[in-house]
Chains A and B, each alone.
Chain A
Amino acid sequence: MFGMTRKTWTIARHEYLVNVKRGGFIFATLLIPALGLIGVIIAAFFGGQTVSFLDEQFSGATQDVGVIDRSGLFATLSADDATSFVLYTDEATAQAALLDGRLAGYIIVPSDFATGGAPRAFVRGEGGLSSTIALESGRLKRFLIRGLLTTQVDPVRLDQVERLLQDDLNPVALDSNGKPTTADADAIFSAGAGFIISFAVALLLFISIFTSAGYLLRSVGEEKENRVMEVVLSSVTAADLLAGKVIGLGALGLTQVGVWLLSGVLITGGLGALAAAATAALNPGILALALAYFILGYLMFGTLMATAGSLGTSMRESQQIAGIFSFMAAIPWMINGLVFANPNFIVARVLSWFPLTAPMMMMIRLPHGDIPVEDIVISLVGLVITVPVVVWGGAKIFRTSLLMYGKRMSVKEIWTTLRAA
């Protein structure tokens, strides 16, 4: 495994400080938050979900809805309904009010409403979101239902109907033994939020692994192209160099993802608060396992990428070699949809046992919960055995291939190097 010497940390610090100041890194780090900010602004203008935002934008525009009742079911309005609805005796007056901008829209309740007639709604041609929201709101539908049923059913039943229309069903989650995993609605919410957060953590760790591995690939490739390797290798061992780069550039990747995460919390504001609340519900066991897969996954892919960087005779060639490993890591994400349907289907399980796909596959499956213990054990044991082998072999190939300029190691030479080591 990596031997941590003072030189390892010197290299790690150097790699971090040099790369964190690069224009490309700063640009990529700030680009995502900038795009997020633009996205939020666009959503705020065109999304239509943020009522408070729309209220601000349409301040002065009324939300009132006119009602022309020809059924006799809405002869009087309750005090509560009167804050949103205005009764009109004829359509011409209501229409004039609509066209003057005093109404968001109006409805005509037909005389046969009680026996099956359908109300008709009217808005101005350019009424826009304000009218749409007023007429599509649950409040108008509840108003109509209450009017229709008040004389037909008892008040208790009527309340029940309204609650069904208004509230979610709040399902109870059951574990494999058929017992509820959560006791109340809040807990169910937390479990759902916990899943989203767990999944987001897995996704971020995945992005972090490949961001850092990408930096490793480029760093090694550049040093090889610059012919600076032999100078460095006269001062440190290949293992020191590899370990220093893996640590330094791993920290760089985490910094980038950290900035993205922090900016996400700051930009979304309310969503950030939701995420913070849900984090409390995040299963610490899942988090610990996700971190274990992250560390093992990064060590493996980081070493593979650095080795790929040393093998190529140019950056382009190194990237082609690295593509093989990136593809391996991407396979679990390709079947992500199937894992959502059934996290324990056989392909997902097999990919969890295979070390090159295990970190990603397990990070995707973990948030679903209820993963067979043997899958966790097999994947972890496989990685704990594989990672030192990859690091050991990678360091050997790294050491030999770094000094081969203009010539790529053949498969036979790689095999000979590994055998000679």
Chain B
Amino acid sequence: MPAALVINHLTKSFANVAAVQDVSFEVERGAIFGLLGPNGAGKTTTIRMIMDILKPDSGQIQILDHAPGLGREKIGYLPEERGLYRGLRVLDTLVYFGELKGLTTARARARALDLLKRVELDDRARAKVQELSRGMQQKLQLAATIIHQPDLVILDEPFQGLDPVNVDLIRRLIRELRDEGKTIILSAHEMHLVETLCERIALINRGRIVLNGDLAAIKRQFSPNALEVAPLIGVGGRPGVAKAEPVLNGDGRPRGERITLEAGVTPQVFLKQLVDEGAPLERFEIASVPLDEIFVRVVTGKA
């Protein structure tokens, strides 16, 4: 099946500032894809070009087998700069956005009532938008984004300003969309949430792609030949071990050992060694670096 989104050598400048430079990546259908990067990296500009709100200077975009601007009805977009008609009622807001996406009034209304239940706003259907809390408005915006049951959903900072309960609700909703076969592009700064949701990511910094691929593979790439074992055995100085250091609990007591193997020594061989020696192993796992650490290392140039 062709990818939901294919971007090739995309470039866009404003005045003399290169906002996006030679950006290429693909998003598979049915996946949750993380488009990450620091503020001002070029994520929103890239998304606006995908949505045909901005025209690229060069490069190609293929979205759901179409050029940008065609098939808007199959795409749902929650922009970072988002707002609502403050004087409009909640239900009317959803119906209007549904109609703009090509639904009939009756269909938009039925979908709106269903979605209001899903985002737990059904009791506020008659309220005016300005009477809603910020979190409620954000849930309403998300409902408006998916009212037309799009095949591809682009969410730019969907968790911004939400309390943990609503973060969990939105996370659940994103997973439900994925389970329904939708493709989701998620741009967010909450790396722990990205880690729990995304299978693949692309990291943009200063307009360029600096990381792109399977998230698990990227994490392994940032901790090559690293293992974590428990309890602390003391393997330092053994053949094949390049480095070993204790991993401490919050109270300063060791809870395990972080080991870096020499090149050419596989974790499997090392595990067999330990088992053969009868080491009292409780835990043996390939170590990975948290995504926010990778993010900081890449963006600050310490990777």
Residue interface mask A231-257, B partner, CB < 8 A = 1 = 111111100000000000000000000
CA distance A276 to B236 in the complex (A): 105
Residues B77 and A231 in contact, CB atoms below 8 Å apart = yes
Q: A11-B100, A403-B48 are in contact. Are A234 and B79 (CB under 8 A)?
A: yes
CA distance A233 to B82 in the complex (A): 11
Could you tell me the dominant secondary structure of chain A's interface residues?
helix
Q: Does B280 contact A (CB under 8 A)?
A: no
Closest to B156 in A: A230
Q: A10-B99, A231-B97, A234-B72 are in contact. Are A226 and B85 (CB under 8 A)?
A: yes
Closest to B77 in A: A234
Q: A10-B99, A14-B96, A230-B53 are in contact. Are A403 and B83 (CB under 8 A)?
A: no
Q: Does A338 contact B (CB under 8 A)?
A: no
Q: How many residues of B contact A (CB 8 A)?
A: 28
Residue interface mask B183-220, A partner, CB < 8 A = 1 = 00000000000000000000000000000000000000
Q: Does A35 contact B (CB under 8 A)?
A: no
Residues A235 and B97 in contact, CB atoms below 8 Å apart = yes
Residues A18 and B69 in contact, CB atoms below 8 Å apart = no
Residues A226 and B48 in contact, CB atoms below 8 Å apart = no
Out of B82, B86, B102, name the residue touching A231 (CB < 8 Å): B82
From 209 to 241 in chain A, residues with beta carbon under 8 angstroms from any chain B beta carbon are 223, 226-237
Q: Does B40 contact A (CB under 8 A)?
A: no
Residues B48 and A235 in contact, CB atoms below 8 Å apart = no
Distance (whole angstroms) from the CB of A362 to the closest CB of chain B: 38
Q: How many residues of A contact B (CB 8 A)?
A: 26
Residues B53 and A231 in contact, CB atoms below 8 Å apart = no
Find the residue from A229, A230, A233 having the highest chain B CB count within 10 A.
A230
Q: Does A413 contact B (CB under 8 A)?
A: yes
Which residues on B sit within 8 Å (CB–CB) of A231? Answer: 77-79, 82-84, 97, 141, 144
Residue interface mask A132-166, B partner, CB < 8 A = 1 = 00000000000000000000000000000000000
From 375 to 412 in chain A, residues with beta carbon under 8 angstroms from any chain B beta carbon are 399, 403, 405
CA distance A83 to B227 in the complex (A): 125
Distance (whole angstroms) from the CB of B43 to the closest CB of chain A: 14
CA distance A229 to B51 in the complex (A): 13
Residues B88 and A230 in contact, CB atoms below 8 Å apart = no
Residues A226 and B100 in contact, CB atoms below 8 Å apart = no
Distance (whole angstroms) from the CB of B117 to the closest CB of chain A: 22
Residues B81 and A405 in contact, CB atoms below 8 Å apart = yes
Which residues on A sit within 8 Å (CB–CB) of B87? Answer: 18, 22
Residues A230 and B100 in contact, CB atoms below 8 Å apart = no
- For the complex of A and B, 8 pairs with smallest distance between CB atoms: A227-B83, A234-B77, A235-B100, A226-B83, A230-B79, A228-B83, A10-B99, A227-B81
Q: Does B15 contact A (CB under 8 A)?
A: yes
Closest to B72 in A: A235
From 28 to 83 in chain A, residues with beta carbon under 8 angstroms from any chain B beta carbon are none
CA distance A344 to B102 in the complex (A): 52
Pairs across A and B, CB under 8 Å, 24 listed: A6-B102, A10-B99, A10-B100, A11-B100, A14-B96, A14-B99, A226-B83, A227-B83, A228-B82, A228-B84, A230-B48, A230-B82, A231-B79, A231-B82, A232-B100, A234-B51, A234-B77, A235-B72, A235-B97, A235-B101, A236-B72, A236-B100, A403-B48, A413-B15
Q: Does B5 contact A (CB under 8 A)?
A: no
Q: Does A124 contact B (CB under 8 A)?
A: no
Q: Does B75 contact A (CB under 8 A)?
A: yes
Closest to A238 in B: B53
CA distance A11 to B141 in the complex (A): 19
Q: Does A7 contact B (CB under 8 A)?
A: yes
Residues A226 and B15 in contact, CB atoms below 8 Å apart = no
CA distance A228 to B87 in the complex (A): 12
Distance (whole angstroms) from the CB of B70 to the closest CB of chain A: 11
Which residues on A sit within 8 Å (CB–CB) of B86? Answer: 226
Residues A234 and B81 in contact, CB atoms below 8 Å apart = no
CA distance A416 to B15 in the complex (A): 9
Residues B100 and A18 in contact, CB atoms below 8 Å apart = no
From 110 to 146 in chain B, residues with beta carbon under 8 angstroms from any chain A beta carbon are 141, 144
Which residues on B sit within 8 Å (CB–CB) of A403? Answer: 48, 53-54, 81
Residues B141 and A237 in contact, CB atoms below 8 Å apart = no
Distance (whole angstroms) from the CB of B97 to the closest CB of chain A: 7
CA distance A254 to B155 in the complex (A): 40
